[in-house]
Amino acid sequence: MSDAGSVLKQLDTWNRLLLTIGAMRLLFAHYDVFPPFVDILRSFGLRHNDIGEVLPRFLLDYGNTNKTATELCFDVRYPEPNSRQNCGDTWSMRHTALYCKHERTEDRFVSILIQPPKRLQSRLSTMLSSPLPVGCRSQLVQCMVLTFTNSYWNDYIASLEGRLTQLVRYDAHSKFQKGV
């Protein structure tokens, strides 16, 4: 049997997921998605501040009682450079989510990827069209998502460190003294 998958993209990465109840039901019925993925769909794009302090989740299930399928889903928050060079922060926190199922009896891989990193999209389509075994394909998709969402963390932390250093220097040269 062949692999199946869907990529859900939105114009703005931090909007709530614009998916109707009917479309979600069709998606779940078509791919026979396990229910914990609903929690990730419901919280997609939810944030309370610019940092997006909603904690990521990783959920794993071994399918039905016969253990014929392995399903997992997770969501990831990650920094990415934005195009706003002249208005403060040049970084934005992004959000992506992945659902994967490997049906061992049918040797089929199913995936649903929500708002993938832009740099990942072309590589992902190339990889999915290659003749890899299903088990390898499933693991490779997961690794690619995690690799691409991890790629800017060092640069982002370095930029935060630079801003903190500037604040410390400013404070050290400030005319105000403690206790005065």
pTM, entire model: 0.75
Q: Determine the structural domain holding residue 158 and report its residue range.
A: 4-172
With bands split at pLDDT 50, 70 and 90, how would you rate the model's confidence at 1? very low
- Looking at the domain assignment, is residue 179 inside a domain? no
Within a domain: 161: yes
What pLDDT, in 10s, does the model give residues 61-96? 555 545 678 888 888 888 888 877 777 778 888 888
Enumerate residues 6+ apart whose C-beta is below 8 A from 75: 40, 43, 44, 56, 57, 95, 96, 97, 98, 114
Tell whether 112 is covered by a domain: yes
| pLDDT tens-digit map of 102-128 | 887 777 788 888 888 878 877 887 777
User: How many domains, the chain?
Assistant: 1
pLDDT higher than threshold 90 for residue 158: yes
Structural domain includes residue 52: yes
Contacts with 28 (C-beta within 8 Å, 6 or more apart), sequence order: 37, 38
- At 173, the amino acid letter reads H
Residue 35 lies in a domain: yes
Average pLDDT of the chain, as a whole number: 76
